[in-house]
Amino acid sequence: MELHHQAKRRHQRNRKVIFRQCLNCQERKGQDFVLALRLCGEEKKLEMESLKLSSRLIDQMIAQARTEAPLETCGVLGGRDGQAMALYPIANALRSTVRYQAEPEGLLAAFLDIEAHGWDIIGIYHSHPAGPEEPSATDIAEAYYPDAVYIIISLAHAPPSIRGFRIVNKQVSPVALEVETPEKDSQPIFRTL
């Protein structure tokens, strides 16, 4: 039996759930581990770009996707240094089940607030109500922000699944989403307009 994954537990004070995907078998792993993959019989250390998000931001994105289903939903994340700090839900101007376009006034308001906080546009998210958590040909063709991580929330199966990608010059590469679960008495920093 060929093994695609090798993993070690990481012991840390703050619990983190790391979502990674084996590019060979497409199996998704998401517990407190995943440090290496065995692809094509050759073990390689997994060196993948990552984006850190609080579990509350993830919950908000999923809630928005569920509320607006069967239409695609969208929004942006503000933050810095690989850490999402704020979620900005934006209306889908197309009101479509298979495409999205951020409503211009909502997008401008989000960009201005992100700039006022000294953050960057660190992520752009949208949902696939009935499709996979992978970029479509349209998503790839319309990826205009190469510095942002594109996050796709799929509601096709229960529970919803979520993945991140970097899309540069129509080339797609996976980005690990590190979901930080806050301590009971701490509050993650987030802002919605």
pLDDT digits (tens, 9 = 90+) for 7-64: 222 222 223 333 444 444 444 443 322 333 333 333 333 446 899 999 999 999 999 9
User: What Cα–Cα distance (Å) separates residue 180 from each residue in 67, 146, 186?
Assistant: 24, 24, 12
pLDDT the model gives residue 148: 96
Tokens of 6: 């090798």
Confidence bin at 119 (pLDDT 50/70/90): very high
**Which of 47-51, 52-56, 112-116, 174-178 has the least mean pLDDT?**
47-51
d(CA 40, CA 27): 15
For the beta carbon of residue 158, count every other beta carbon within 10 angstroms: 6
Do 158 and 125 have their domain in common? Answer: yes
d(CA 34, CA 36): 6
**What is the domain extent for residue 79?**
49-180
CATH code: domain of residue 159:
3.40.140.10
Do 128 and 75 have their domain in common? Answer: yes
